[in-house]
Amino acid sequence: MATKTIDVREYTVRAHKRLIHTRVFNFVCKECNQATKRETFGPRPLYCESCRPLQVRKSSLSESRKIKPRSMTYKSDVDLD
């Protein structure tokens, strides 16, 4: 089993290094029906690199939401005491 060290840079967690275990899968692509080889750390892939569908990044989904306005505190030059 191959191992890799990857840099994790997410906004929800502190940046750190993580050791992941990857496997090389030999399989038949669901789209083009050709035998192919792909390295992945998850379950057996269905598509080869050229046929796999594009994945939507989670950060782009969170940016599309409307940002709520924040309350602001103002300082005045005039003292009302």
User: What's the pLDDT band for 23 if we cut at 50, 70, 90?
Assistant: very high
Percent of the chain with pLDDT over 70: 78
Q: How far from 51 is each of 34, 44, 54, 57, CA to CA, in Å?
A: 11, 15, 9, 18
User: What pLDDT is attached to residue 52?
Assistant: 86
Residue 12 inside a domain? The answer is: no
Structural domain that includes position 36: 20-52
Residue 35 inside a domain? The answer is: yes
Residue 48 inside a domain? The answer is: yes
Residue 46 inside a domain? The answer is: yes
| Residue 72 in this model has a pLDDT that exceeds 90 | no
What's the pTM value of the predicted model, to 2 decimals?
Answer: 0.47
Number of domains forming the structure of the chain: 1
Q: Please tell me which residue, 54 or 56, carries the higher pLDDT value.
A: 54
Average pLDDT for 36-55: 88
